Structure formats: structure tokens, C-alpha cells
């Protein structure tokens, strides 16, 4: 199916575990992004990528790692999960060649760290 997908949609993990959230888009968009959404904070950018093998930090990158070996995939890894990383995570991709084009979001992954 065309679009942007995230997996898993729901995840419960324990403190200290490593967990990877997957993001896949079929549009061949250059830019991809990871956000977290928390009550009272809205959406905050974790990392973004301008193209394969090019990534950069956003507002809240600590505790997260990203990679982008292929244009269509942009996984987000929590190296050692903490309770403060309990959140809803959204992946997005951007239609244009510049960073300021509209973004299209995946359905989100609800992560709970116990």
C-alpha cells in the first residue's frame, strides 16, 4: 500500500531494554522525521533525515539513535528505554525537496516503558 507506515503500532517494554520503531514510506520522499507527542508538549522533533545516510538532531534527541541506509526506511532506536520515553511516536515524510514542505504522518506508535 502506498503511504507511510509505522510498526509496531503498540509496544510495551521494560526499562533498560533496547527497542526499535520502524518507519517505511513508499513515496520516495527525501526528508523523513521522527516526532514524539506528549501531553502538554505537543509534537517535538527527535531526529530528521534529508536523504539516505544524512541525519540530524532535532529538539529532543537524547536517548535515541536513527539510521537511514535506504530512502524508504527510517528506524528509530531507543538504546536503553526509560520511563520518560513513554510517548506516542510519529514518523513523517516531506513531499518537497526543501525542508519546509508539508509533512505527511504515519499512524503513530504508542510506546509504554514500564
How far is 77 from 68, CA to CA, in rounded Å? 12
Cell numbers standing for residue 1:
500500500
How far is 19 from 79, CA to CA, in rounded Å? 7
Nearest distance from C-beta of residue 44 to other proteins, angstroms = 8
**Binding to other proteins (CB under 8 A): which residues in 52-81?**
56, 58-59
How far is 21 from 77, CA to CA, in rounded Å? 6
Choose which of 12, 51, 54, 99 interacts with other proteins (CB under 8 A).
99
- Rounded to an integer, what is the distance from CA 23 to the centroid of its chain? 7
Choose which of 1, 42, 62, 83 interacts with other proteins (CB under 8 A).
42
Between 11 and 44, name the residue whose CB sits nearer to other proteins: 44
**Cβ-based neighbours of 57, under 8 Å, separated by 6 or more:** 47
Is residue 48 part of the contact set for other proteins (CB under 8 A)? yes
Q: Which residues bind other proteins (CB under 8 A)?
A: 33, 40-45, 48, 56, 58-59, 88, 90, 92, 98-105, 107-108
Amino acid at each position: 500500500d502506498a503511504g507511510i507506515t509505522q510498526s509496531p503500532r503498540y509496544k510495551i517494554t521494560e526499562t533498560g531494554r533496547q527497542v526499535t520503531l520502524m518507519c517505511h514510506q513508499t513515496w520516495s520522499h527525501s526528508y523523513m522525521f521522527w516526532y514524539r507527542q506528549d501531553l502538554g508538549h505537543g509534537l517535538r522533533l527527535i531526529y530528521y533525515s534529508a536523504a539516505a545516510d544524512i541525519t540530524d538532531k532535532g529538539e529532543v534527541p537524547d536517548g535515541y539513535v536513527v539510521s537511514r541506509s535506504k530512502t524508504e526506511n527510517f528506524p528509530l532506536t531507543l538504546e536503553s528505554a526509560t520511563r520518560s520515553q513513554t510517548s506516542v511516536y510519529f514518523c513523517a515524510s516531506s513531499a518537497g525537496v526543501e525542508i519546509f514542505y508539508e509533512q505527511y504522518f504515519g499512524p503513530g506508535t504508542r510506546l509504554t516503558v514500564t
